[in-house]
Amino acid sequence: MTSDTKNKRLIAFTGGQILTMDPQNNNAETVVIRGNRIIDIGDAEICNQYPDVDIVNLDGRTLLPGFIDSHNHLSSFACFFPNWVNLFGLMTKEEILGALKKHAQMNPGNGWIVEFGWFDGKSGGIDLNRFDLDEIGIVRPVLLIQATFHMSVTNSLGLEMAGIDSPTPNPQCGIIIRDSDGNPTGVLIENAQSSVFNLTMNTEIREHAELIRARAIELLSFGITAIHDPGVTLKAAEAYRFLYNRENLPVSVLMMPHGATILDNDPGMWLEGPKTGSGDEHLRIGPVKIFADGATPETVAYDMVIRGQTMKSGSFRDDFRGILYDATRKGFRVCVHSFGNATTDAVLDAFEEAKKYAPPEFEIRPRLEHVTLISDSQIRRLAVMGGCVSIQPQFLMRATNFSRAPVENAKWLPYADLFKSGVCVAASSDDPGGFMDARDPLKGAVMGSTMSNGDGNTVFPDQVLPFQRWLWFYTAGSAYAGGQEHERGMLKKGLVADLVILKGALDPENPPVVDETYKDGRLVFKHQNEVNV
């Protein structure tokens, strides 16, 4: 017997604001759940139909569906992040190397030291190479992962352990940066990181599952009850299944099939197994995740006209088309990392072409990740194709730089334009990537709705949207982008009883807090008083 059938408690939530996220039903006063399902929704009187119901008085608070983080690297990076040296906010060489030294002193041993959250010089941070890391005298392999995961730097011992030397060729879609003599500098870009990733993030299934579970429990305090994991290796899927089989998965997970190492476009045996949509509301297979461009200054595919001058970068991923067609032919939806505008046309062309290969009645539902720069015509095209985007409001932290170089042929982070054009917008954290701990959807909704760059300054004021619209992006928008609209994202009869109660007004100037989180109809988080799951 599963917990769902054991848990038949009948609860009615009433006495506050109900945000159904359902455009067909904006006026509900009461939501009734039994076990893990919403069984009724309507006016205050519907409680009378359920004599045994337990009433949760919202007392002026706001009830809405549990948040869905539509881009959270839970299994590939986020679960390991607590064991790494956190470099968020450290901007000088001295600070970064100091944090590394301190960590080594406090955590003696021989194994890898991993630091995360560094930015290279071209990305507004500082350049580091193997010699900088060698100089501080740590006789252990060291890996600094750039905040986008698309670039790393390792020390000489790390290169040696990864088997990277002067004769090592660049892998497909990867660059081993070299000095003028052809010797690796320690900087590894995109797929060139595979070997160091495999060495530093290789755990037993059981340990991996524990790390995932610990990080996932934290999400409940942010009101997040489901995530999309954009890059699940077959091995990580085993860790998820390990938790699922023991009813130990704290949040629902949409696994997006991916190659054996993150950034490797070949999903391999994933395509021979269960297809997009398989599974249940706790663990489901989502769209296959592939990359059309990268996210480093060398690999992000921008094609910009700035003050009349054309500037191009990146656009080196040619391997995504064949995989998109193959996945579609086999009944998988596909989601493409399309960070810059230069790849977007090629990606939309490929989705168009993929229709030829799709099984009968199959809805392709194109999905793009990040879309930091996109043109009006690309937005219209995506809307016509019934497409979705998963966006990260924390990228507004960089918006001040963007706004200084106005692009004439496309727009930076045009969130309102995307929504108003009819593209389905899903919001997300990219945890643990980016510029900050971006897991809190309410913080994201504040940044996104005010188009604030993190310092409280509004950039791109024409893209401001109401706070509530951003809550929709984190619920119904994300559900649709994950093909989960039949199960979550709205307060609607028959959908899962994953709920959040917010305390405080829905005002970005003075935002509310998550007061309670319900997962499968059970209270799993209460503000300042966590409940065991």
Residues that bind Zn ion (CB under 5 A): 430
Instruction: Kindly tell me which of 433 and 508 has the beta carbon lying closer to Zn ion.
Output: 433
Take residue 63 and report the two structure tokens written for it.
């009830």
Nearest-CA neighbor of 85 among 109, 61, 58, 104?
Answer: 104
CB of 435 to Zn ion, least distance (A): 13
Q: How far is the CB of 229 from Zn ion (least distance, A)?
A: 10
Based on CB atoms, which residue is closest to Zn ion, 148 or 449?
Answer: 148
CA atoms of 221 and 149, how far apart (whole Å): 26
Contacts of 377 (CB under 8 A, 6+ apart): none
C-beta neighbour count of 91 within 10 angstroms: 13
CB 71, min distance to Zn ion, A = 5
Distance CA 416, CA 413 (A): 9
State which residue, 281 or 430, has the beta carbon closest to Zn ion.
Answer: 430
- In terms of CB distance, is 293 or 430 closer to Zn ion? 430
Q: Which is nearer to Zn ion, 118 or 525 (CB)?
A: 118
Please tell me the distance from the alpha carbon of residue 305 to that of residue 318, in angstroms, as a whole number: 24
Contact 256, 232 (CB under 8 A): yes
Q: Which is nearer to Zn ion, 242 or 320 (CB)?
A: 320
Task: Spell out the residues 6+ positions from residue 337 whose beta carbon is closer than 8 angstroms to its own.
Answer: 230, 289, 290, 291, 292, 293, 295, 368, 369, 370
Q: Among all residues, whose Cβ is closest to Zn ion?
A: 430
**Other CB atoms within 10 A of residue 349 CB:** 12
What CA dihedral angle connects 163, 169, 172 and 174, to 10 degrees? 70
Q: Which residue, 150 or 488, has its beta carbon nearer to Zn ion?
A: 150
**Among candidates 421, 422, 482, 471, which has minimal Cα distance to 449?**
471
CB of 257 to Zn ion, least distance (A): 15
Cβ 290 to Zn ion shortest distance, Å: 13
Edge-first strand listing for the sheet containing 367-370: 288-291, 334-338, 367-370, 388-391, 424-427
Helices (H), 37-92: none
> Closest approach of Cβ 470 to Zn ion, in Å?
19
Q: Which is nearer to Zn ion, 64 or 368 (CB)?
A: 368
Residues 334 and 385 sit within 8 Å (Cβ to Cβ): no
Q: Tell me, what amino acid is at 319?
A: D
Nearer to Zn ion, 13 or 291 (CB): 291
**Least distance from Zn ion to the Cβ atom of residue 148, Å:** 8
Residues 6+ apart with CB under 8 A from 5: 35
Say how many CA atoms lie within 13 Å of 88 toward its Cβ: 13
Are residues 116 and 76 in contact, defined by beta-carbon separation less than 8 angstroms?
Answer: no
Q: How many CB atoms lie within 10 A of CB 51?
A: 7
Instruction: Quote the distance between the C-alpha of residue 17 and its chain's center.
Output: 29
Give the shortest CB-433-to-Zn ion separation in angstroms. 5
The CB-of-73 to Zn ion minimum distance in angstroms stands at: 6
Which of 302/525 has CB closer to Zn ion? 302
